[in-house]
Amino acid sequence: MIDAIAPVSGALPAPEFAPRPVRPTADFSRLVGEGLGALNTSLNAGDQALRAMAAGEAIPLHDVMIAMERARLDLQFAVEVRNRVVEAYQQLTQMQL
């Protein structure tokens, strides 16, 4: 026999929203460089995991698959960001003054 779930007593307090402190604008080239560095790290991790498994090391298959999928998603994200930047640049160059 399954017991019923007991109701929650009392409402949760409303979250307090404090304004976030204003940061100075980040340098775009620095952000892109950090993103590409993270992408490179992710791709290298997936490659190393695959090479370790192919070399016969005792690495679980699911760890290799997770590393490869993470690298694929990171690369797909980077390609989409590049596509959006190129599209925005093309729209700017096609504007008539």
Classify residue 35 as left (phi > 0), alpha (psi -120 to 50) or beta: alpha
Cα–Cα distance measured from residue 10 to residue 2, given in angstroms and rounded to the nearest whole number: 24
| Domain-wise residue ranges, the chain | 28-94
What three-state secondary structure class fits 2?
coil
Residue 13 has pLDDT above 80, yes or no: no
Cα–Cα distance measured from residue 22 to residue 19, given in angstroms and rounded to the nearest whole number: 9
Residue 22 has pLDDT above 70, yes or no: no
Contact 72, 41 (CB under 8 A): no
Residue-wise pLDDT tens digits, 25-72: 678 888 889 999 999 999 999 999 999 999 999 989 999 999 999 999
Binned at pLDDT 50, 70 and 90, residue 97 comes out as confident
Contact 76, 46 (CB under 8 A): no
pLDDT at 75: 95
pLDDT at 46: 93
pLDDT at 14: 59
Query: Average pLDDT, whole number, for the chain?
Result: 85
